[in-house]
Amino acid sequence: MNSRLKECVMTSHYLRRDQLYYTYEYKRGQSNVVDLLFVQDGMDYIEIGHIQQALEAVLETTESIHLFMVLVPPPSSEERYHLYHPQGERLESYIRFFQDELLMTVRHRFENEDKEIRKVGLLGDSLGAAVSVSIATEFPESWSHLLFQSGAFTDSHVFKIQNLQKVDWQVYQVVGLQEEAVTYPLTGENLPILSYNRSLHKQLQSITDTITYYEEDEQHLWDFWRRDLPRAIRYFVETNIKEERDERNV
């Protein structure tokens, strides 16, 4: 088994600055296939969510796997709002950075190594889940798995899903029953997170057949997402893409 965390910096044309990100590569056995998981709020998932430990615990019995995580932290809480929120001033720039620069750089690396890229997923909590919807709906064919923890969705995100045709997404979605009245500290706005997750889930059912949805008796807290993370990662690892499901049904 081989795994390591690496700090990287990319000069972004769209963001007009250097963007810090981390990669975590987990390899066990000899596999020519690689799965990619892109994580919003990357430093929080490392330091609070303990994502490395969660991943290794899930994969400890796996005989052969190659998983490459890309963890992207926003520079600050204020910048996070402008990058992630549908009304953020830099949302469109962040989407283009993510799709045209970050994703393409990672894909080219493994394509140049003659690796077969199988799964390409997005993981995010709260506004991180919200911006994942914004990215995925802009480029739906680029992504196979979407993992949402207490997504801070709005009418904008529900509308984006409504306007999509059928997609080959595998969706993991979890929300807390105590998340109906969450106050966003930066703006003071009230976020009815539970209601919007239910609305988004309903719309997702019309465009994809592979959805796992949970409502738990939890609050909008990192302790909830940390404890849920192994289940979300297991979903990413164990849920096949459409081509593999079709092969099994032949």
pTM of the model: 0.94
β pairing state of 65-72 and 116-125: unpaired
Q: What is the pLDDT of residues 131-188, one digit of tens each?
A: 999 999 999 999 999 999 999 999 999 999 999 999 999 999 999 999 999 998 888 8
User: What pLDDT, on the 0 to 100 scale, is given for residue 3?
Assistant: 67
> Which are the contacts of 53, defined by CB distance < 8 A and separation ≥ 6?
none
Domain-embedded: residue 246: no
What is the domain-level CATH number for residue 114?
3.40.50.1820
Residue of 22, 47, 26 lying closest to 35 (CA atoms): 26
Burial of 188 (0-12, 13-18, 19+ CB in 10 A): exposed
Domain-embedded: residue 47: yes
Query: Phi, psi (5° rounding) for residue 128?
Result: -65, -35
Domains in the chain, number: 1
Domain-embedded: residue 247: no
Query: Phi, psi (5° rounding) for residue 207?
Result: -120, -15
Domain-embedded: residue 134: yes
Which stretches of the chain score pLDDT less than 70? 1-3, 241-250
Domain encompassing residue 49: 2-240
Q: What is the DSSP letter of 164?
A: -
**Quick one: angle between helices 193-204 and 155-162, nearest 10?**
0
Domain-embedded: residue 8: yes
Alpha-carbon distances of 140 from 30, 44, 63, rounded to whole Å: 30, 26, 31
Domain-embedded: residue 245: no
Tell me if 239 sits within 8 A of 37, measured CB to CB: no
CA distance 239 to 187: 37
> Which are the contacts of 79, defined by CB distance < 8 A and separation ≥ 6?
90
Residue 80 CA, distance from chain mean position: 15
Domain-embedded: residue 248: no
